[in-house]
Amino acid sequence: MKLSIFIYFCLILPIFSINWLEVLENTLDKNVGVCDNLYRHVCPQNKTDGFSQIVKQEFRKDFEKYKIPENFEKIKEEIETLIETIRNNTTFDLIFEKSEKFCQENRDEFRLFLEQLESLIRNENIPCEDDRCFVIALENDNCTDVVEFIKFNLKKNFDLAKEEIKFVYLPIDATDVLQSFEWIKNNTEVFDRINSTIAIIKALTSEKLRETPWIKNNNLTRIFENISKKLYLPDPEIIANLNIKRLTDYESNLNKCSKNVPSDLISICHLHTIKNMDKKDKYALFSGDNAFNSYPIMGFGLAFAYYAKIDLPPAFYLGSIAQIVAHEVGHTYIVSERGDNFLPYFSNDTRNCIQNQFTKSCEYFAEGECKTSDIQFDDNGADSFSFEIMYQIFKAFYGETMNDEIIGSKIGMTHAQLYFYSHGTTLCSPKPRISYPKGSHHASNVRINSGAAQNLDFGKTFNCAPNSKMIESRAEKCYIFGENAAETRF
């Protein structure tokens, strides 16, 4: 591994005012042993002032200092109206009332009205498909039926628009996008750090893929490398500019439409504008504590990215945000049998091994409903991938010094211990953690504890007895990639 890239881990991007080591040490729950339950040792149940809550508060304080530039206030309002309009059904009722009235009283007005509706919603280049057509309603004389027809078609169009919005074609929370942009301008180094982390994870993964028996024996290395190469983190300034362009386009298109349309049809103009948006690059800036891999692009909410600024030894960064980065990168290489992925292969043995660990961790740590289901595999796999690869990177970075005490620690915490603690902080919640059979993510406590249970050094790091829960909950050791990985694939 290249040392030049490693240097990024050493760069401290400090938030000076807080002693984060003290914060971390004070939030650890002394009543729950780390060997009995890593997650609950780090994230005390029923307490609201856990480490991650403090990080989030600090991030919010910092974020709120950044204001939306004044020239965007109007756009912001328009986008907010859009959201409200889409949620509001009252404007629809107006449209339906109008349709009913025209239908019964004035067929000429009704025709004009339907033509207008259709021209706004239908793309003229495509044939009149049922749900985009309104004028054909004139063929029916029964106004009850006609209004039903219009209702049905409009609802269908709005449902589609809602779906499109959900997938961030449009940076729907304009305030958040604009404020995020301002924040990023002052914090570019955070994204540089994440980007070099991605490069390191990819480089090490490449090495491991080449050694993986089921990949090697099936000549899949080049396919994997190709896929790997294309994954990237877009420059946040470019995303921001794209989002802002989209907001301004939205405004001007909406204005164009509103000029020709009665004010009670304004919601149709929103629909029209959404339909005609450039939907090519569907990503937005966002401030939340979330991350995604929407291959080939990745995205990190700023509340997560903020972790990269916390002034603690590199072990903390490696175990927290870098671990999340690895999880997102991992989604690229982990495939479920469902096959809804660009990567057609994975090992069934490895898949079963991973699921078994999650099942066993459920048995030991359930705080309520705890089920390991097939639908979670993509995420469980990405977790397992990230725990495996980040620990390797952590060890390579620290070498012998990983068991040295951290200067200033009141409890004699070592770097290796900090590394494990930091995992837990990112998924912290004081509430009982449960997993729904239909949810794509397993319960946070199971995610953290199964990752640590799989780590053969965990017991040594904390001096755990062999019969402690963290050690006993280990299922068979899984090797996802590398020379010890499985022979077979599906």
Ligand X SMILES: *[C@@H]1O[C@H](CO)[C@@H](O)[C@H](O)[C@H]1NC(C)=O
- Residues found near ligand X in the complex (CB under 6 A): 45-46, 65-66, 81, 84-85, 88-91, 142, 144-145, 155, 186, 191-192, 195, 218-219, 222-223, 226, 232-233, 235-236, 348, 352, 490
What gap in Å lies between CA 2 and CA 114, rounded to an integer? 65
Q: Which is nearer to ligand X, 47 or 282 (CB)?
A: 47
Half-sphere exposure of 178 (CA within 13 A, CB side): 21
Q: Which is nearer to ligand X, 102 or 419 (CB)?
A: 102
Beta carbon of residue 360, minimum distance to ligand X (angstroms, whole number): 16
| Among 152, 206, 222, CA closest to 1 | 206
Which residues fall within 8 angstroms of residue 302, CB to CB, at 6 or more apart? 59, 63, 180, 183, 184, 187, 285, 286, 287, 288
Beta carbon of residue 144, minimum distance to ligand X (angstroms, whole number): 4
Q: Which is nearer to ligand X, 342 or 490 (CB)?
A: 490
Q: Are 11 and 192 in contact (CB under 8 A)?
A: no
Q: Which is nearer to ligand X, 344 or 437 (CB)?
A: 344
Burial of 253 from C-beta contacts in 10 A (0-12 / 13-18 / 19+): middle
Beta carbon of residue 442, minimum distance to ligand X (angstroms, whole number): 18
Q: Are 213 and 487 in contact (CB under 8 A)?
A: yes
Answer whether the bond into residue 314 is a cis peptide, omega within 30°.
Answer: no
Beta carbon of residue 5, minimum distance to ligand X (angstroms, whole number): 11
Beta carbon of residue 348, minimum distance to ligand X (angstroms, whole number): 4
The amino acid present at 366, given as its one-letter code, is A
Q: Are 461 and 420 in contact (CB under 8 A)?
A: yes
Q: Are 66 and 185 in contact (CB under 8 A)?
A: no
- Measured CA to CA in angstroms, residue 31 lies from 6, 27, 60, 472 at distances of 37, 11, 30, 20
Beta carbon of residue 45, minimum distance to ligand X (angstroms, whole number): 4
Q: Which is nearer to ligand X, 414 or 444 (CB)?
A: 444
Q: Are 266 and 258 in contact (CB under 8 A)?
A: yes
The amino acid present at 251, given as its one-letter code, is E
Beta carbon of residue 196, minimum distance to ligand X (angstroms, whole number): 8
Beta partners for 405?
414
Q: Which is nearer to ligand X, 217 or 290 (CB)?
A: 217
Beta carbon of residue 395, minimum distance to ligand X (angstroms, whole number): 25
Half-sphere exposure of 37 (CA within 13 A, CB side): 20
What gap in Å lies between CA 331 and CA 233, rounded to an integer? 14
The amino acid present at 471, given as its one-letter code, is I
| Among 397, 6, 485, 486, CA closest to 208 | 485
Q: Are 490 and 339 in contact (CB under 8 A)?
A: no
Q: Which is nearer to ligand X, 195 or 392 (CB)?
A: 195
Q: How many helices (H) and strands (E) does the chain have?
A: 23, 2
Q: Which is nearer to ligand X, 116 or 352 (CB)?
A: 352
Q: Which is nearer to ligand X, 44 or 171 (CB)?
A: 44
Q: Which is nearer to ligand X, 355 or 454 (CB)?
A: 355
Half-sphere exposure of 157 (CA within 13 A, CB side): 29
Beta carbon of residue 463, minimum distance to ligand X (angstroms, whole number): 24
Beta carbon of residue 400, minimum distance to ligand X (angstroms, whole number): 31
